Every structure is written in structure tokens, then in C-alpha cells.
């Protein structure tokens, strides 16, 4: 495993659309392993492949698990949001946008279809904090950064 450089805001790469992953091979697994290590070192709770310079649809989320101190690491390849409902506003930041935090509007609940690192299909529904992390990371695959969805006070 290796720590990769995190692409920072201002780099046009972060604004590009990522392409589908079509090979679930060792190269993908190495990318995911590196993304996890990079996320951990940077103390984040999510990371998307474009943040390490790879324009492919792959994200990692560290999800909260009820009743557990330990989070769940979830890799999602080619994720697609199939349903969303409700609204929540919370403070967000991003490993690619150091020093900036702001309030962001997100759905309270999102359902996602995705593949795992071996290509098997899954679907999951996330609520609360986990819905925030999942939608933040999936946004990266469309070149969207959290502050694009900032909720300004008084509005």
C-alpha cells in the first residue's frame, strides 16, 4: 500500500466527471487500498478516486455503526443514487479543500446501488451522517464539491 497525493481544490481534475470502472482487477484493488491508507493518514471519513488523481467511479466511506465505536469501511464502485428523501443541514469539510468548512444541504436518506471491488452488485440505504458521507463522496464523481451546496445564513 502507498499513500497517494491528495488533489487540492483549484486543480481542474476535481471538476471532471469520472468514468465507470470496468475492470475489477489488481489495479483497482491497489487503488482502493491506497485510497484507504491515504484517507486514514489524512484523518478523513471518506475519499473518492478523483481526489487521488484517478477519474474512475470509486469511493470509500467510513460509516457510523450504531452502538459501535468502530466505523464500517465501505467501498462503492460505480455508485448510483437510486432514491433520496428528506433534508438535513450539517457542517462539512473535504480532504481536497483544507481549511474550509460550511453548512451543506443534503438528503436525510439516500439509497445507492453499487458494485464491490470484485464486481458484485449491492444496494444500501444510508441515513443521517452516513447519508452525508455517501452523497459527499458520490458528488466527487460528478465534479461537485461540498461548498457548491453551501447553505448561506439568512436564506
Residues forming the site for Co ion (CB under 5 A): 94
Residue whose CB is less far from Co ion, 3 or 97:
97
For the CB of residue 48, give the shortest distance to Co ion in the complex, in Å.
7
Minimum gap (Å) between residue 139 Cβ and Co ion: 8
Residue 142 and residue 17 in contact, taking contact as beta carbons nearer than 8 Å: yes
Residue 149 CB, shortest distance to Co ion, in Å, is 12
Does residue 62 carry a catalytic annotation? no
Which of 62, 64, 137, 150 is flagged as catalytic? Answer: 137
Helix (H) or strand (E) holding 109: strand 109-115
Per DSSP, what are the bridge partners of residue 106? 88
Cα(11)–Cα(97) distance, rounded to whole angstroms?
Answer: 11
Residue nearest to Co ion (CB): 94
In which element (H, E) is residue 127 found? Answer: strand 121-127
Let me know: does 107 contact 134? Beta carbons within 8 Å: no
Give the C-alpha separation, 44 to 65, whole Å.
16
Closest to Co ion by CB, 24 vs 102, is 102
Q: Which is nearer to Co ion, 94 or 131 (CB)?
A: 94
Give the active site residues.
137
Amino acid at each position: 500500500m502507498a499513500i497517494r497525493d491528495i488533489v487540492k481544490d483549484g486543480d481542474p481534475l476535481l471538476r471532471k466527471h469520472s468514468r465507470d470502472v470496468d475492470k475489477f482487477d489488481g489495479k483497482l484493488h491497489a487503488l482502493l487500498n491506497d485510497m484507504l491508507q491515504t484517507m486514514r493518514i489524512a484523518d478523513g471519513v471518506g475519499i473518492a478516486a478523483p481526489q487521488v488523481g484517478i477519474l474512475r467511479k470509486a469511493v470509500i466511506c467510513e460509516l457510523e455503526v450504531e452502538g459501535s465505536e468502530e466505523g464500517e469501511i465501505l467501498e462503492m464502485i460505480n455508485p448510483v443514487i437510486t432514491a433520496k428523501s428528506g433534508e438535513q443541514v450539517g457542517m462539512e469539510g473535504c480532504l481536497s479543500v483544507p481549511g474550509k468548512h460550511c453548512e451543506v444541504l443534503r438528503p436525510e436518506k439516500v439509497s445507492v446501488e453499487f458494485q464491490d471491488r470484485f464486481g458484485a452488485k449491492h444496494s444500501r440505504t444510508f441515513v443521517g451522517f452516513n447519508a452525508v458521507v455517501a452523497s459527499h463522496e458520490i458528488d466527487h464523481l460528478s465534479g461537485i464539491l461540498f461548498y457548491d451546496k453551501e447553505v448561506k445564513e439568512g436564506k
